[in-house]
């Protein structure tokens, strides 16, 4: 059974700092990994999807990497802004419609 | 572009009352549709998924049911709500691209059963 862990559970940084969020998974046989952002009381917004054959994906100030063999992914946020404050979740697709496992998330606060 | 609509945003219901949450997708056809529940401090739990009209798969036995009466409409229902049904419910649809599926979520419904 796939298990997804996100560390730390919460993170507070000053504005402008670069930061890394971590996601680890127990079964390396995955199809893809997706990073989401969730604002309080809202749905999930897709940020990046990395396919199992890829090493990284970039979108603006965000860069996600994937090391499938070690069961790890990182989300790098450059030059953080207060608007980046949210909970970030990773989701691992182990194959099939019902085989997406979500982490609990990392709650990020960027202090102005 | 594709959009997903989910309503209502919040709902307060007494124990034993019925439930109907609706989700519709625009801008795509034959999407895979999902209902998730998110509890505080826990990851998202898949409740139901559907790959086509009238096709529903349940992941966990519970007090809830789902239906897909139209291609882009997904409904979550209950005949009698329990206190344990409280939570944040999310509808999602999947965009299949080759061997990968990307998930897109609705805005969620916060359900409080009192």
Given this model, what pLDDT does residue B99 score?
56
Distance from C-alpha of B23 to C-alpha of B34, rounded to nearest angstrom: 10
Distance from C-alpha of A92 to C-alpha of A106, rounded to nearest angstrom: 15
Instruction: Summarize pLDDT for B59-98 with one digit per residue, the tens.
Output: 886 889 999 999 999 999 999 999 999 999 999 998 765 5
CB contact under 8 A, B107 and A103: no
Where b means 16+ CB within 10 Å and e means fewer, A70-80 reads ebebbbebeeb
Give the lowest-confidence range in A71-80, A89-98, B12-21: A89-98
Distance from C-alpha of B63 to C-alpha of A65, rounded to nearest angstrom: 39
Instruction: Summarize pLDDT for A27-85 with one digit per residue, the tens.
Output: 999 999 999 999 999 999 999 999 999 999 999 999 999 999 999 999 999 999 999 99
Report which of B31, B97, B95 is spatially closest to residue B68, judged by C-alpha positions: B31
Instruction: Summarize pLDDT for B2-14 with one digit per residue, the tens.
Output: 899 999 999 999 9
Type and span of the H or E element at B18: none
| B106/chain A closest Cα distance in angstroms | 6
> DSSP characters for A83-108?
GG-EEEEEEEE-SSTT-EEE---EEE
Distance from C-alpha of B31 to C-alpha of B55, rounded to nearest angstrom: 12
Instruction: Determine phi and psi for A8, rounding to 5 degrees.
Output: -80, 170
Query: Which of B46, B51, B90 is closest, CB to CB, to A44?
Result: B90
Report which of A30, A37, A36, A75 is spatially closest to residue A56, judged by C-alpha positions: A75
Given this model, what pLDDT does residue B41 score?
79
Q: For an interface test with B, give the residue of A44, A49, A87, A101 to mutate (most B CBs within 10 A).
A: A44
Given this model, what pLDDT does residue B60 score?
81
Residue of B nearest to A105 (CA): B43
A89: tokens are 């979740």
Q: What residues of chain A lie within 8 A of the CB of B6, using their CB? A: 43
């Amino acid at each position: 059974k796939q298990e997804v862990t996100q560390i730390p559970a919460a993170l507070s940084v000053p504005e402008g700092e670069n930061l890394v969020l971590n996601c680890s998974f127990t079964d390396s046989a995955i199809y893809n990994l997706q990073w989401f952002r969730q604002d309080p009381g809202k749905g999930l917004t897709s940020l990046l999807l990395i396919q199992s054959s890829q090493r990284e994906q970039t979108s603006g100030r965000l860069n996600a990497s994937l090391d499938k063999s070690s069961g790890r992914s990182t989300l790098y946020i450059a030059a953080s802004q207060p608007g980046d404050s949210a909970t970030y979740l990773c989701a691992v697709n182990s194959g099939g419609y019902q085989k997406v496992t979500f982490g609990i998330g990392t709650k990020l606060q960027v202090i102005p | 572009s594709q959009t997903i609509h989910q309503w209502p945003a919040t709902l307060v219901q007494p124990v034993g009352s019925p439930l109907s949450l609706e989700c519709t997708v625009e801008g795509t056809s034959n999407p895979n549709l999902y209902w998730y529940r998110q509890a505080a401090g826990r990851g998202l739990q898949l409740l139901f998924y559907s790959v086509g009209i009238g096709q529903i798969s349940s992941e966990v036995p519970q007090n809830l049911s789902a239906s897909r009466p139209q291609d882009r409409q997904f409904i979550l229902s209950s005949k009698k709500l329990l206190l344990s049904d409280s939570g944040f419910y999310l509808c999602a649809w999947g965009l299949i691209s080759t061997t990968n599926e990307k998930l897109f979520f609705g805005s969620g419904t916060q359900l409080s059963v009192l």
